[in-house]
Structure 1
Amino acid sequence: MSANPSQVGQDVRLSVRASAAPQPVGAHWEFGDATTAEGSSTDHQWSAARTFQVTVTATFPDGRTKTRSYAQDVRPQRVTGTLTVHVIGPGRIVSTPAGINCSGTCSAQFDANTTVHLTAQDNPGAQFEEYADDCTGATPPDCDLVVPASGATVTGTFTQVSWTLTLKVQDPASGGGGGIVEVFDNDGAGPDHQCRQARCVDNFGVDETILLEPNALGLSISQFRGWQGACAGQGQQCHLTMDGNKTVTALYVRCPPGGCT
């Protein structure tokens, strides 16, 4: 048989074979639901959910017959509903039970009337704003909804609220060098802080302009030679618009014993 258990209305392929030659030349099937069929192979589907006693009588070339029976477990037909999720912006929505895990548009089948738990997961620097459609009014980042046989649709919206600046400093002050970079918010109008380590990571608002410049305090120890990365080609000062994640390297070279010239 091709399936046991099977579902109501599902075609099940039934075949009779002997464990050794000769093979049957015909067979009579009784499916336990008042229907019969002839042939060494046949297809059948049951219209009710219960266990049916299936009996097959095989006929061999010499006229002998042999009868065998087995129990066919027929279960209710699975009814499913399709959940379609649309993700707008930098994030991902996943489901429990598993099935939905996407950052664009995806769909999954669930048993009809199953409660599905959705969780919104934002990307670094992003935040989840709201659910819409069949999750309208849910409290972020979670939504519980029942998926009917007719299906359900959910839209989740994320927005980017900040980008990351990774600032690398050669020969940094924290290691005994003179590499110090001043970081000013709002293109120099806002407060500043210093990067004295080999690597500093800060987050800034979307499209915020920041100003980077070498601090004169360390110039007697190390000489500033310029920028690499997002500031490449700029002079002493670097103006950056945070329209994405940025990486900048400040190039310092240690002064000789006699000092920098």
Structure 2
Amino acid sequence: NCGGRGAVFVGNLTDVSSQKSYAYNNLFYNVAHPRMDNPGFTAGAIVHDNNAYLTCTGTFNSADESAAQVGSDDPFVDSANGKYQLRAGSLPVNKAKALIATYATALDGVTRPQGGTWDIGAYEYLSAQSTLFVTSANGTVTSNPSGINCGSTCYANFDADAWVTLTASPNSGYTFAGWSGGGCSGTETCTVSMASAQVVTANYAAVVAAPTVPTATYYLSVSKTIANAGTIVASDNTINCGSICKANYNAGKKVTLNVAVNSGYKFSRWTGACKGQGTTCTVSMTASQNTKAYFAETK
């Protein structure tokens, strides 16, 4: 209290010689004459260091605390209204001694440390943060540093001084069409300043499939002058004439016909698509075609 005097006693004053008391990382605020003495001036009864003394005068007169912090500036966010969280860059930030895990949770549940070093006092400084919201239908957006994986996680808090890089990956059947919001544009990665909350949308476009052009088909019809004189068979068995004497083929298909002559007959010639060829005939299916095999009896 800057208007008077006061004392804080730590430990059991009835037997200060048998058990030490420890005072680390305490913040003493608005004091006129900061000093931590041993009870009854018993040497070593209190082990103390890394305490902060915020005084009216800015002076400090306790010579036996090597890592003490002393100053006169108000370190709190709004002490007049009971908000005792630490301001960025204030004296107690990153000046405390690292203690055991029992003390690693601040008064408001924040885990110590938030920076590289613990903070003095009941609260651990948590840097100001802003929220990044992402919309990503038909694709996934991820962030560096991590936090966004949208898909599933489409908003996250980042430090207000951070820059967050977003990368979009379209789902199958879509292409990435570009960014909107958050100062982003184009189809490359997007880097967003988190000085304030941001809303970013990843836009996608459906891939338009090329129209399917139906494949032309043509028929090949085979006939014989004497039904029982022999059999005409295609190499892929689509024709077996005999019984199957006509088949359809895709344009450009090459069909090979083979003539098997029965006993008592001989193959004579072709007319139509196989004209001029022997017992093996190849037809290129550039149009629907007919061919006839001529047989004669042997005597």
Whose strand proportion is higher, 1 or 2? 1
TM-score bracket relative to the smaller structure: 0.3 to 0.5
TM-score, length-normalised on structure 2? 0.36
TM-score of the superposed pair, with normalisation by structure 1:
0.40
Higher Cα radius of gyration: 2
Comparing both chains, which one has the higher relative contact order based on Cα–Cα distances under 8 Å and sequence gaps of 6 or more?
Answer: 1
